[in-house]
A = this chain, B = another copy of it.
Amino acid sequence: MERKVKVGLIQYQIKPDWAENVAKVEKLLELVKDGGADLAILPEMFICPYELDLFPRFAEPIPNGRTCEILSGWAANLNLHIVGGSLPERDERGNLYNTATLWDNQGNLLAAHRKIHLFDVDLPGGVSFHESALLTPGQKITVLEILGMRLGIAVCYDIRFPELFRLMALAGADFVALPGAFNNVSGPAHWELSLRGRAVENTIYIAGVSGLAPPDSSYQSWGHSMMVDPFGQVPLHLGQTEGFGVVEVDPERIKDIRARLPLLKQRRVDLYDLRLLKS
């Protein structure tokens, strides 16, 4: 990683109305751009409420759908790299995915990360969700070069799996953008824990970016979008209200922490082996 990158995190109430969400995001993108952001990150399912029965209704092809068209235009017009949170993708065979897109500041699609680990849980307190009833899981990890850094992309439940984040770090990731939507049970129990844990064990930055749900929604997203640094500190934390913030990913901080706490070098690769089977 060559230089500091300014990252904008965006958190807002996601409505069942596509155009209303689009209008809201546009304003927030202008604000993070004003704040100096090089890269903006939107929440998981940023144009449609996080409700299983709404995914097919909002699903669209990538990149030839209305939401990708809007994302590409924002990126080019604002001269801003954007992780287009995620959206329900429908491929040519009719399969649905929970897919995060990455756009460069000229409006080109650089990557589409399909959520690898689908969210199938029955949490204490009555929160049940079964993405696999409807969605197809992704088949590859996503780490690529932009803005002089190695950016990893993962979606929500992907954070639960240390193997994925270790493989991203070993592929050189300096920073992982994680659109997510934990809930009022898993959120207080595990959201910050998971983000900080993965960041520290891999000495990387992670931004977890979540939307909020209207009060009458069946699924209450936890919000609490935050940036976590390679020592597990939290320079930005948005709580559970609408808001945004711009914070730096600093290569000197990564270098300093890795010199002090060289975890990636101290792995016992003579005792255990972790490898990617497909790429």
Point out residues on A near B: beta carbons under 8 Å: 116-118, 120-124, 137, 139-141, 160-164, 166-167, 189-190, 193-194, 196-197, 200-201, 231-233, 256, 259-263, 266-268, 270-278
Contacts and interface: CB of A to CB of B under 8 A. Distances in A.
A271 to B, nearest CB: 6
B161 A268 contact: yes
B164 A260 contact: no
A47 to B, nearest CB: 27
B200 A193 contact: yes
16 contacts: A116-B268, A123-B260, A123-B261, A124-B256, A160-B266, A161-B268, A163-B166, A163-B268, A164-B268, A190-B200, A194-B200, A194-B201, A270-B277, A271-B278, A272-B276, A273-B273
Contacts of A231: 124, 189
A117 B263 CA distance: 10
B270 A232 contact: no
B201 A232 contact: no
Contact of A274 (B117, B121, B233, B274): B274
